[in-house]
C-alpha cells in the first residue's frame, strides 16, 4: 500500500467514473470483487470525484466500505471537488459552473467523507480550474482541512501550467491529473509534463486509453493509423493493443500514473503486465507519427 506520509502513488490508479451509474452500475458485491481484485494486484489508489454518477458513485463505494470496513486500511482514497453539476440531488445548482471558493471546498469534503464513510481523504484534487479562484483562499482552506485531519494531501486536475504554478506557490500540490493518451497529446507539448518533472511530482493521467474509442470499429483515419502501427508494435512485443498503448505513455520520463477506466478486473491484470514492456525511441516516435499524421520537423 502507498506510503501515507508522502503521497506515493502505486504504478496505476483505479478510476471509479465508470463503475457506478455512469457505466457498469456495479452492485456492492460486484464492486467488492473488483476492488479486492485490484488490491490483490497491488493497485490500492482509488480515484473518485464527487460528481461521478451524478453524485452517487461515492455513496455506492461508501456502502462497500460500511459493509467491509477492513478495506479502508488497504486503500488510498482520492477524490475531487469543484464542479457544480446540474443534478436532481443538487437542486441549488442552476447552471453548470466551477467553484473553488472555501465554502464549496469545505462542504464538498464533508459530503465526500460522509458518502465514502471515512474520516479522512488521502488526496483531494481540485477537479477543474475555477477562473474566479483565489490561491490565498484555497491555501487557507487546505490548511484548515489538513489540520482537522479531514484531508491528507492536495492536488489539482486539468490546471494549466500557470494555474498550477500559482497555486503551488501558496500550498504544495502532489499532482496535476490531466488527460493524455496517444489520441490526446496536448500535455506533451504545453509544458504540463515538464512542470511535473521540475516540481518532482508525478502527473496522473485520465483517459489513458482515450476513453476506449480506439477499441471500437472506427472510420476515423487517425484512429486507424494509430491502430495499424500500434498493432504492429504490439505483435513485435508479444503484447496486446491496450498494453502497447499504456507502455507508450509509461516511456515518458515524467513517471505518469495512469488512472485506469476499465470495469473489468481481467483488463486491470492485463495492463499490469504492460508495465514491463519497453519501447525503443524509434518505436515511440513511430506511434507519435501515426497519431499526428506527419513526421517530426
Ligand atoms: N480529472 C478528470 O477530469 C477526469 C476526467 C475523466 C476521467 N477521469 C478519471 O480517469 C479514469 C479513467 O478514465 P477513462 O475511463 O476515460 O479511461 P480509459 O482507460 O481511457 O477508458 C476506459 C474505457 O475503455 C474501455 N477499454 C479499456 N480497455 C479496453 C480494451 N482492451 N478493449 C476494449 N475496451 C477497453 C473500457 O471498457 P471496459 O470497462 O469494458 O474495460 C472503458 O469503457 C476515470 O475512471 C476517472 O477516475 C478523470
**pLDDT beyond 80 at 208:** yes
Could you tell me the CA-to-CA distances from 146 to 22, 89, 163 in Å, in that order? Answer: 31, 28, 22
Mean pLDDT for the stretch of residues 107-132: 98
Whether residue 223 is contained in a domain is answered as no
pLDDT of residue 217: 76
- Is 35 within a domain? yes
Nearest CA to ligand 1 atom 15: 261
Mean pLDDT, range 228-240, rounded to an integer = 97
Q: Is 285 one of the catalytic residues? A: no
pLDDT > 90 fraction of the chain, expressed in percent and rounded? 95
Q: What are the grid coordinates assigned to 163, written together?
A: 494555474
pLDDT at residue number 216: 82
Q: In the Cβ-directed half-sphere of 66, how many Cα atoms lie within 13 Å? A: 12
Ligand 1 pocket mutation, candidates 209, 216, 242, 248, criterion most atoms within 8 A of CB: 209
- Rounded to two decimals, the pTM is 0.97
- Residue in 75, 39, 77, 41 with CA at minimum distance from that of residue 58: 77
Grid cell 511535473 is found at 196
Nearest CA-CA partner of 83 in 20, 181, 30, 156:
156
Residue 28 falls inside a structural domain: yes
**Of residues 52, 98, 136, 285, which has the active-site annotation?**
52
Residue 127: domain span: 13-174
Confidence bin at 219 (pLDDT 50/70/90): confident
**Share above pLDDT 70 across residues of the chain, in percent, rounded to a whole number:** 98
Kindly state whether residue 290 falls inside one of the protein's structural domains: no
Is residue 27 in some structural domain? yes
Domain presence at residue 262: no
Q: Is 78 helix (H, G, I), strand (E, B) or coil?
A: strand
Question: Which pLDDT band, with edges at 50, 70 and 90, does 218 fall under?
Answer: confident
Query: What is the overall mean pLDDT for the chain?
Result: 96
The pLDDT-based confidence of 143 (bands split at 50, 70, 90) is very high
| Interval 157-175: pLDDT, tens | 999 999 999 999 999 999 9
Averaged pLDDT, 193-204: 98
What is the rounded average pLDDT of the residues 253-258? Answer: 98
Counted domains in the chain:
1
Tens digits of residue pLDDT in 4-55: 456 999 999 999 999 999 999 999 999 999 999 999 999 999 999 999 999 9
Query: 202 pLDDT exceeds 70?
Result: yes
Q: Classify residue 135: in a domain, yes or no.
A: yes
Q: Which residues line ligand 1 (CB under 6 A)?
A: 15-18, 47, 127, 157-158, 177, 206-212, 215, 242, 259-264, 267
Taking residues 128-151, report their average pLDDT.
Answer: 98
DSSP per residue, 83-143: EE--BTTBTT--S-EE--SHHHHHHHHHHHHHHHT-S-EEEEEE-S--TT--HHHHHHHHH
Q: What is the DSSP letter of 216?
A: S
- Residue 115 included in any domain: yes
Q: What is the pLDDT of residue 1?
A: 44
Per-residue pLDDT at 5: 53
The answer to whether 152 and 101 have CB atoms below 8 angstroms apart is: no
Instruction: Write out pLDDT tens, residues 259-285.
Output: 999 999 999 999 998 899 999 999 999
CATH number for the domain harbouring residue 30? 3.20.20.100
82 C-alpha to ligand 1 centroid (Å): 21
User: Does residue 176 have a pLDDT over 50?
Assistant: yes
Amino acid at each position: 500500500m502507498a506510503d501515507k506520509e508522502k503521497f506515493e502513488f502505486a504504478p496505476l490508479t483505479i478510476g471509479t467514473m465508470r463503475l457506478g451509474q455512469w457505466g457498469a452500475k456495479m452492485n456492492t458485491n460486484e464492486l467488492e470483487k473488483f476492488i479486492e481484485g485490484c488490491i490483490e494486484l497491488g493497485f490500492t489508489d482509488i480515484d473518485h470525484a464527487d460528481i461521478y454518477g451524478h453524485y452517487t458513485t461515492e455513496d455506492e463505494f461508501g456502502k462497500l466500505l460500511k459493509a467491509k470496513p477492513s478495506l479502508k486500511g488497504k486503500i488510498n482514497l482520492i477524490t475531487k471537488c469543484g464542479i457544480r453539476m446540474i443534478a436532481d440531488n443538487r437542486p441549488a445548482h442552476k447552471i453548470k459552473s466551477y467553484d473553488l471558493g472555501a465554502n464549496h471546498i469545505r462542504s464538498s469534503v464533508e459530503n465526500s467523507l460522509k458518502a465514502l464513510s471515512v474520516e479522512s481523504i488521502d488526496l483531494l484534487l481540485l477537479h477543474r480550474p475555477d477562473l474566479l479562484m483565489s490561491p490565498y483562499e484555497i491555501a487557507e482552506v487546505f490548511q484548515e482541512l489538513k489540520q482537522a485531519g479531514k484531508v491528507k494531501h492536495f492536488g489539482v486536475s486539468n490546471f494549466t501550467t500557470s494555474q498550477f504554478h500559482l497555486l503551488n506557490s501558496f500550498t504544495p500540490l502532489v499532482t496535476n491529473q490531466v488527460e493524455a493518451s496517444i489520441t490526446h497529446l496536448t500535455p506533451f507539448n504545453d509544458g504540463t509534463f515538464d512542470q511535473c518533472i521540475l516540481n518532482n511530482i508525478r502527473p496522473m493521467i485520465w483517459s489513458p486509453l482515450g476513453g476506449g474509442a480506439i477499441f471500437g470499429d472506427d472510420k476515423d483515419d487517425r484512429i486507424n493509423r494509430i491502430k495499424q502501427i500500434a498493432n504492429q508494435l504490439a505483435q513485435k512485443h508479444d503484447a496486446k493493443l491496450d498494453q502497447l498503448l499504456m507502455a507508450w505513455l509509461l516511456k515518458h520520463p515524467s513517471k505518469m500514473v495512469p488512472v485506469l477506466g476499465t470495469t473489468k478486473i481481467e483488463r486491470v491484470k492485463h495492463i499490469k503486465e504492460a508495465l514491463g514492456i519497453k519501447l525503443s525511441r524509434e518505436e515511440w516516435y513511430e506511434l507519435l507519427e501515426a497519431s499526428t499524421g506527419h513526421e517530426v520537423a
